[in-house]
Amino acid sequence: MKKLRIAIQKSGRLNEESIKILKDCGISIDNGKDQLKASARNFPMEVFYLRNGDIPQYLKDGVVDIAVIGENILKEKGDNITVAEKLGFSKCRVSLAVPKTNIYTDIKDLEGKRIATSYPNTLRAYLSDKGVKAELHIINGSVEIAPNIGLADAICDIVSSGSTLFKNNLTEVEIMLRSEAVLAVSPSIEAEQKKILEDLRFRIKSVLVARKSKYILMNAPNDKLEDIIKILPGMRSPTVLPLAEEGWSSVHTVINKDKFWEVINELKKAGAEGILVCPIEKMVL
């Protein structure tokens, strides 16, 4: 049986999260320190540890079948590569930034200016769409220093927290692209590997849904049960079980973690007591 070949970042911000999501999917990888290729012991998969910027070409060439990679890299280098799943981690944005001392009103202010970037293709497409012509200086790494040394009037780079921009007296003025880690698929993936990929996607979806959810249990007086159930945004309907104490029931359901505190406050006001919150490891829909 052929194995599904997956590329992940050799080191950096995507590496740990990529390994974690595979582990959460129940996939154990036998790899030692500094290995560039490893096998999973309980799933038909080979893992390739590659430089982030090289991964799109490996996908195009069919050296690997799938990869965990940032959308920003795919947009820059990944023509004709499809995205199977958005993974929800390593979120960032590709933005334009200018020195804080500059007066900036809109994108037209960059007409004829010098922009330093590691994302020339993304930047060219954005400027073309806005009808702006600028001079691009392509830099690999430390883009944010360019305005301070007189090399550029602005920069285009990835931004996560914005602290690097702040340290270099730059301010973000245009968000060109919002990015997160995705599961990308080679255009030349074969049928046998596609079947394995579908199994992997099933596992990943179960993990991602669980990460966004919380399982809650609470005690509810029966005379307030109807009002409490109306508050719950459960998957279908909550589970309601009678308690040993007459007039009370136990209510079980799943809620979205983003609405957690809002829902909990409403439940308390409606009369729910003894609310217990549990993490969910997997959720199969």
Query: DSSP alpha helices (H): ranges in 63-119?
Result: 71-77
- The pLDDT score that the predictor gives to residue 159 is 93
Sequence-ordered list of residues with C-beta below 8 angstroms from that of 206, at least 6 positions apart, any chain:
25, 282, 283, 284, 285
Query: DSSP alpha helices (H): ranges in the chain?
Result: 13-24, 55-61, 71-77, 120-130, 163-167, 191-211, 225-231, 260-270
Burial class (CB in 10 A: 0-12, 13-18, 19+), 185: buried
Sequence-ordered list of residues with C-beta below 8 angstroms from that of 20, at least 6 positions apart, any chain:
none
Instruction: Report the C-alpha gap between 177 and 199 in whole angstroms.
Output: 30
pTM, rounded to two decimals: 0.84
Sequence-ordered list of residues with C-beta below 8 angstroms from that of 201, at least 6 positions apart, any chain:
84, 85, 183
Instruction: Report the C-alpha gap between 22 and 273 in whole angstroms.
Output: 37
- The pLDDT score that the predictor gives to residue 141 is 79
Q: How far apart are the first and last CA of the chain?
A: 28
What tens digit of pLDDT does each residue of 243-274 get? 999 999 999 999 888 888 988 999 999 999 99
Of 1-10, 88-97, 276-285, the range with the lowest mean pLDDT is 276-285
- The pLDDT score that the predictor gives to residue 81 is 93
Of the candidates 93, 116, 62, the residue with the CA atom closest to the CA atom of residue 175 = 93
- The pLDDT score that the predictor gives to residue 235 is 59
Residue-range domains of the chain with CATH: 4-89+180-210 (3.40.190.10), 92-179 (3.40.190.10), 213-279 (3.30.70.120)
- Model confidence at 12, pLDDT cuts 50, 70, 90, reads confident
**What residues are paired with 180 via a beta bridge?**
none
Average pLDDT, the chain: 92
Instruction: Report the C-alpha gap between 33 and 254 in whole angstroms.
Output: 40
**What residues are paired with 82 via a beta bridge?**
185
Instruction: Report the C-alpha gap between 271 and 127 in whole angstroms.
Output: 56
- The pLDDT score that the predictor gives to residue 234 is 58
- Model confidence at 140, pLDDT cuts 50, 70, 90, reads confident
What tens digit of pLDDT does each residue of 69-114 get? 999 999 999 888 999 999 999 999 999 999 999 999 999 999 999 9
Q: Please, what is the Cα angle at 43 between 37 and 48, to 5 degrees?
A: 20
Instruction: Report the C-alpha gap between 132 and 150 in whole angstroms.
Output: 21
What tens digit of pLDDT does each residue of 201-241 get? 999 999 999 999 899 999 999 999 999 998 887 556 789 99
The type of residue at 136 is L
* Angstrom distances, CA of residue 178 to CA of 59, 83, 93: 22, 15, 4
- The pLDDT score that the predictor gives to residue 237 is 78
